[in-house]
A and B are shown apart, each in its own frame.
Chain A
Amino acid sequence: MDLLSYILKRVLQIIPVFIIATILIFFLMRLIPGDPALVMLGEKATPESLALLRSKMGLDQSYFTQFYLFFKNLICFDLGTSIKYKEPVLLLLGDKLMTTVWLIISSLFFSLLFSIIPGYYSGIHKDKPVDYIFRLLSLLSLATPAFWIGLVLLTLFSVQVNWFPVSGWGNTFEEHILGLILPGITQGIGVAAVLIRNLRNNVIDVKDSDYVNYARSKGLSNFQIGIHHILRNALIPTTTLLSMRIATMLSGSIVVETVFGLPGIGALLVNGIYARDYPVVQGVVLLFVLLVMVINLATDIIYSFLDPRVKLS
Chain B
Amino acid sequence: MIKLKKCKQLNPSLLAGLTIIIVISVLAFIPGAFTHYNPTDIASDSILKAPSDLHLFGTDNFGRDIFSRVIYATRIDVMIGIFSVLIPFIIGTTLGLISGYYGGKIDSLIMRTVDIFMAFPYMVLAIAIVAIEQAGLWALFLSMWLVSWKEYARLIRSEVLVVKNAEYVEAAKVLAYSDFRIITRSILPNVLSSAIIYAASDVVMCMLSGAAMSYLGLGVQAPTPEWGAIISGGKAFLSTAWWITIFPGIFLVVTGFGFSLIGDGLSDILRKGRA
Complex CA–CA separation, A215 to B132 (angstroms): 61
By a CB distance below 8 angstroms, the chain B residues around A258 are 216
Residue from B120, B132, B212, B239 within 8 A of A32 (CB atoms): B132
* A16 shortest CB reach to chain B, Å: 8
B242 within 8 A of A: yes
Q: Enumerate chain B residues within 8 angstroms of A91, measured Cβ to Cβ.
A: none
When the two chains form their complex, are residues A273 and B116 in contact, meaning their CB atoms are under 8 A apart? no
Chain A residue nearest to B16 in the complex (CB)? A136
Q: In the bound complex, how far is the Cα of B123 from the Cα of A258, in angstroms?
A: 13
Is A55 located at the chain interface by the 8 A CB criterion?
no
Given contacts A151-B231, A247-B121, contact A281 B128 (CB under 8 A): yes
Spot the interface stretch: B22-30, B170-178, B254-262: B254-262
Kindly list chain B residues whose C-beta atoms are within 8 Å of the C-beta of A147. Answer: 211-212, 215, 228, 231
Contacts of A254 in B (CB 8 A): 123-124, 127, 216
Q: Which residue of chain B has its CB nearest to the CB of A140? A: B257
Interface residues in B40-65 by Cβ distance below 8 A to A read: none
CB neighbours of B246 from chain A (8 A)? 152, 155
A293 CB within 8 Å of chain B? yes
- Asked whether, in the complex, the Cβ of A152 is within 8 Å of the Cβ of B249, the reply is yes
Check if B260 sits within 8 Å of A142, measured CB to CB. Answer: yes
Instruction: Give every chain A residue within 8 A of B212 (Cβ-Cβ).
Output: 145-147, 255
Verify if B79 is at the interface (C-beta below 8 Å from A): no
In contact, B239 and A251 (Cβ under 8 angstroms): no
C-alpha spacing A281/B130, complex, angstroms? 12
Are A143 and B217 within 8 A (Cβ)? no
A-B pairs with CB below 8 Å: how many? Answer: 127
A contact residues around B242 at 8 Å (CB) = 155
Is the beta-carbon distance between B253 and A151 smaller than 8 angstroms?
A: no
Q: Is A285 at the interface (CB under 8 A from chain B)?
A: yes
A31 closest partner in B (C-beta): B132
B201 to A, closest residue via Cβ: A142
Q: Is B71 interfacial (CB-CB < 8 Å)?
A: no
Chain A 198-220 interface mask (CB, 8 Å, partner B; 1/0): 00000000000000000000000
Question: Which chain A residues lie closer than 8 Å to B231 at the CB level?
Answer: 147-148, 151
Stretch at the interface among A17-25, A61-69, A115-123: A17-25
Nearest to A193 among chain B residues (CB) is B260
Residue among A159, A251, A269, A284 with the most chain B CB within 10 A?
A251
**B33: Cβ under 8 A from any A Cβ:** no
- Most chain-A CB neighbours within 10 Å: which of B119, B249, B254, B256? B119
Q: Is the CB of A273 within 8 A of B218?
A: yes
Known: A139-B260, A146-B212, A151-B238. A270 touches B127 (CB 8 A): yes
**A residues 158-203 with Cβ under 8 Å of B?**
159
Residues of B within 8 A of A310 (CB): none
Q: What's the nearest-Cβ distance from chain B to residue A53, in Å? A: 21
B7 contacts partner chain A, Cβ-Cβ < 8 Å: no
B211 (CB) vs chain A CBs: closest residue: A145
Per the bound structure, the CA–CA distance linking A142 and B249 in Å amounts to: 13
Q: How far is the CA of A58 from the CA of B218 in the complex (A)?
A: 30
Q: Is B204 positioned at the interface, with any CB of A under 8 Å from its CB?
A: yes
**Docked-complex contact A250 and B120, CB < 8 angstroms:** no
Residues on B with beta carbons closer than 8 Å to the beta carbon of A32 = 131-132
Is B132 in contact with A274, judged by CB distance below 8 angstroms?
no
Determine the distance from Cα of A24 to Cα of B125 in the docked complex, in whole angstroms.
Answer: 11
Residue of A nearest to B218 (CB): A273
| Given known contacts A140-B253, A285-B128, A292-B121, A17 and B245 CB-to-CB distance under 8 angstroms | no
Which chain A positions have C-beta within 8 A of B83? Answer: none
B260 with A292: CB separation less than 8 A = no
Q: Tell yes or no: B198 within 8 A of A by CB.
A: no
Question: A225 at the A/B interface (Cβ < 8 Å)?
Answer: no
State whether B245 touches A151 (Cβ < 8 A).
yes
A265 vs chain B, min Cβ distance (A): 10
The listed residue (A154, A273, A285, A292) touching B130 by CB distance below 8 A is A273
Given known A-B contacts A21-B116, A255-B212, A288-B121, A145 and B235 have beta carbons under 8 A apart: no
Query: From residue 88 to 123 of chain B, which have CB atoms closer than 8 A to chain A?
Result: 112, 115-116, 118-123
Measured CB to CB, the nearest residue on chain A to B134 is A33
CB <8 Å contact, A154 and B238: yes
Q: Which residues of B contact A20 (CB under 8 A)?
A: 116
Q: Check A148 against B245 for contact (C-beta < 8 Å).
A: yes
As a 0/1 sequence over residues 194 to 231 of chain B, the CB contacts with chain A under 8 angstroms (1 = contact) are: 00000001001000100110011110000000001001
Question: In A1-36, which residues have CB < 8 Å from any B CB?
Answer: 17-18, 20-21, 24-25, 28, 31-33
Other than A17-B115, A155-B245, A288-B124, give 12 A-B pairs with Cβ distance below 8 A: A18-B119, A21-B119, A140-B257, A143-B252, A144-B252, A147-B215, A148-B231, A154-B238, A155-B246, A159-B239, A255-B212, A269-B127
Interface set of A (CB-CB < 8 Å, partner B): 17-18, 20-21, 24-25, 28, 31-33, 139-140, 142-149, 151-152, 154-155, 159, 247-248, 250-252, 254-255, 258, 269-270, 273-274, 281, 284-285, 288-289, 292-293, 296
Contacts A/B (CB < 8 Å), 5 sampled: A255-B215, A258-B216, A270-B216, A273-B130, A289-B124
Closest 4 CB pairs of A and B: A143-B256, A251-B121, A148-B249, A251-B123
* B binding-site residues for A, Cβ under 8 Å: 112, 115-116, 118-124, 127-132, 201, 204, 208, 211-212, 215-218, 228, 231, 234-235, 238-239, 242, 245-246, 249, 252-257, 259-261, 264
